[in-house]
């Protein structure tokens, strides 16, 4: 049985998550979607606003999914899968998790990637963050959690563009600098081409070199930069580098995505993708997307030093080279 895709919709309070989800479920292409909604507060309301079959909407109440109900999330997803297998719910083809506006998506992504009860059955498809065009810039200034939501997303959806222009108020530029590789889509009252939301982390277009040419950016404690290397890296270098970064950078590393030219696999770049210290197994492309064959590693972090990471990468590769030669 192939793994079911699961996506996470995150975004700050009032940024349009529920509206987007509600419209999404009205799209015939997505009618076979099961939804898990997490609400922060004693009484959940969002599920009443989402138009779908009740049996396929599950509530997680009593806390924020990222900190207090992570186990519940895993159990709920497991229950959904069991009910699907037993035929007690309409067969669904996708799960969408809507987080609270205050949630840090990283622990949710970690649970989906690593929990052994569900990781074989579910495939993390995409992390989608909504950002309000009218209030988004102020929210990014005032709430670090919203910066993290935008930084961790695979896809950013700017909402309420009918009442504010994200290009005019600087939000568009800010999001581009914060998360250059994430496509930026717009939605008015939740209306958009929903198929573009679910292209997932694995998508060649995400590795378009132009996305990585953004200058180093720092705002609100979050900095984004790209490590580049013209010479191929040994596979061992990559493994040691990731191990070292995970060990020492901890929660300061928000996201790392890369396209790596590996000595042992010429012509077939490796795609690496991690959220904090949790990484997907590398995927291998059949060929380079274009003529640019340099290694590019995009880092979104809370204050990590780009030059330090670049020096570290070079030092490790020198060591691996020396071991290979001696």
Partner 1 sequence: MASVLSGAMRLWDVAGTVTISASGLELTHTDAAIQDLTPLRIVPRAPHGWLVLRGPETLGVHAGVLGLLRQLREELAPHAQRGRLIIGAQSLR
Task: Please give the residue ranges that form the binding site for partner 1 (CB under 8 A).
Answer: 3, 110, 112-114, 116, 119-120, 122-124, 200-202, 240, 242-244, 246-252, 271, 273, 276-283, 304-305, 307-308, 311-312, 315-316, 319, 322-323, 326
Q: Which is nearer to partner 1, 134 or 201 (CB)?
A: 201
**Per-residue CA distances from 195 to 18, 68, 126, 200, 206 (Å):** 17, 32, 12, 11, 16
Q: Which is nearer to partner 1, 89 or 119 (CB)?
A: 119
Q: Closest Cα partner for 185 from 35, 34, 9?
A: 9
Least Cβ distance, residue 97 to partner 1 (angstroms): 15
Q: How far apart are CA 266 and CA 188, in angstroms?
A: 45
Per DSSP, which regions of the chain are E strands?
4-11, 33-38, 57-60, 94-98, 122-132, 155-159, 184-187, 217-219, 222-229, 253-260, 270-275, 278-279, 283-284, 295-301
Least Cβ distance, residue 323 to partner 1 (angstroms): 6
Centre a 10 Å sphere on the Cβ of residue 314 and count the other Cβ atoms it contains: 15
Q: Which is nearer to partner 1, 117 or 141 (CB)?
A: 117
Q: How far apart are CA 223 and CA 195, in angstroms?
A: 30
Least Cβ distance, residue 156 to partner 1 (angstroms): 19
Query: What tokens were used for 2?
Result: 């192939």
Q: Which is nearer to partner 1, 68 or 243 (CB)?
A: 243
Q: Which is nearer to partner 1, 90 or 239 (CB)?
A: 239
Least Cβ distance, residue 196 to partner 1 (angstroms): 18
Least Cβ distance, residue 225 to partner 1 (angstroms): 14
Q: Which is nearer to partner 1, 188 or 244 (CB)?
A: 244
Query: What tokens were used for 152?
Result: 């961790």
DSSP conformational letter for 236: H
């Amino acid at each position: 049985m192939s793994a079911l895709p699961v996506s996470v919709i995150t975004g700050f309070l009032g940024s349009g998550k529920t509206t987007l989800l509600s419209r999404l479920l009205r799209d015939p292409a997505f009618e076979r979607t099961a939804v898990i909604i997490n609400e922060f507060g004693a009484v959940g309301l969002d599920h009443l606003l989402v138009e779908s079959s009740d049996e396929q909407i599950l509530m997680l109440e009593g806390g924020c999914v990222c900190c207090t109900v992570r186990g519940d999330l895993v159990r709920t997803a497991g229950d959904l899968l069991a009910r699907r297998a037993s035929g007690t719910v309409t067969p669904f083809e996708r799960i969408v998790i809507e987080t609270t506006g205050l949630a840090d998506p990283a622990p949710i992504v970690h649970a989906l990637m690593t929990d052994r009860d569900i990781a074989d059955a579910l495939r993390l498809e995409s992390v989608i963050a909504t950002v309000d065009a009218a209030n988004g810039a102020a929210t990014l200034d005032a709430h670090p959690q919203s910066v993290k939501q935008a930084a961790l997303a695979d896809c950013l959806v700017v909402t309420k563009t009918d009442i504010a222009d994200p290009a005019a108020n600087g939000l568009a530029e800010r999001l581009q600098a914060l998360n250059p590789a994430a496509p930026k889509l717009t939605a008015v009252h939740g209306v958009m081409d929903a198929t573009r939301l679910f292209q997932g982390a694995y998508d060649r277009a995400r590795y378009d070199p132009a996305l990585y040419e953004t200058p180093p950016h720092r705002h609100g404690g979050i900095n984004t930069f790209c490590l580049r290397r013209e010479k191929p890296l040994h596979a061992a270098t990559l493994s040691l580098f990731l191990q070292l970064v995970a060990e020492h950078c901890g929660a300061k590393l928000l996201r790392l995505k890369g396209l790596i030219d590996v000595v042992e696999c010429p012509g077939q770049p490796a795609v690496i993708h991690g959220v904090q210290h949790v990484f997907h197994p590398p995927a291998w492309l059949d060929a380079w997307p274009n003529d640019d064959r340099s290694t590019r590693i995009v880092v979104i972090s809370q204050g990590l030093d780009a030059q330090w990471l670049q020096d570290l990468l070079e030092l490790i590769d020198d060591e691996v080279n020396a071991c290979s030669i001696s």
